[in-house]
Amino acid sequence: MTTQLLERPATVTVPDTEAGRLIVPATEGSTTVPTYRVGAPDIQCRYPVIVGEDQVIGRAYRWHRDWFVLTTAGEHNLRRPPKGTPGTDMAAAHLAQQYAAGRIGAVPLDQVLAEAPTPLCGPVPLLHPRMPVNDRNIEGAQIAFAGLRAHHWRAVLTGFPGSDNHWFLSCELCPWEGPKFWSHLRGRNGEPPSARRHKGGCIGEDKVRRLITAYH
């Protein structure tokens, strides 16, 4: 803990169960990089990178193998993180350096949250807007949506983004929602997926197994 952290207790209003680790300030060359943390992902699977109490210096998101950052200077592709480094960490460190160097600005978190899209009430489109419409993707999406139904998941904003990509889903067995990978939800080698479902373990593995026929 540094003095700076003690002076700035985290009083951020974002529900933050999975991210939000504080990263201690580091010195990169002659520039002191501010303390920053990664907030909870929004409905578009974008992770806000926050300095101070509530100043968002950019949002990081993954599109297949690459990680992108969205800042006051526009969108930038950081490509793939080094092996073993989470993409959010790579993106957050990049944003903190850019911010320290004065190349990007900050936006209050409230404003960022107010501009986020709201969940759809009805069905979402079949494909994510970035997914090319072709037979292979349509077929993959139909399989994925059938799997979501069978496993009590609901897509709340976008269609199928591909198997190895963040997809913001709502658990229909409990109030949990967040980004998931279809490749983790479909099971492997004829085996059903983990009955833990998501962080927190959902309603308990026994109940999950009872409710979903794939486990019978």
Residues that bind Zn ion (CB under 5 A): 171, 173-174, 176, 202
**182 touches 190 (CB < 8 A):** no
Q: Name the one residue in this structure whose structure tokens are 């990178």.
A: 49
Shortest gap between Cβ of 192 and Zn ion (angstroms)? 15
Shortest gap between Cβ of 213 and Zn ion (angstroms)? 17
Q: Which of 37, 36, 1 is nearest to 19 (CA)?
A: 37
What one-letter code names the amino acid at 194? S
Distance CA 133, CA 75 (A): 24
Shorter beta-carbon distance to Zn ion: residue 20 or 201: 201
Shortest gap between Cβ of 177 and Zn ion (angstroms)? 9
Give rounded-to-5 percent helix, strand, coil for the chain: 25, 25, 50
Shorter beta-carbon distance to Zn ion: residue 76 or 154: 154
What one-letter code names the amino acid at 94? H
Q: Which of 124, 144, 163 is nearest to 43 (CA)?
A: 124
- Going 193 to 176 to 169 to 91, the CA torsion angle's sign is negative
Shorter beta-carbon distance to Zn ion: residue 151 or 166: 151
Cβ atoms within 10 Å, residue 10: 13
Shortest gap between Cβ of 170 and Zn ion (angstroms)? 9
Shorter beta-carbon distance to Zn ion: residue 78 or 173: 173
Shorter beta-carbon distance to Zn ion: residue 79 or 196: 196
Shorter beta-carbon distance to Zn ion: residue 113 or 173: 173
Distance CA 106, CA 74 (A): 13
What one-letter code names the amino acid at 12? V
Shortest gap between Cβ of 18 and Zn ion (angstroms)? 14
Torsion of CA 49, 90, 85, 195, to 10 degrees: 30
Shortest gap between Cβ of 173 and Zn ion (angstroms)? 4
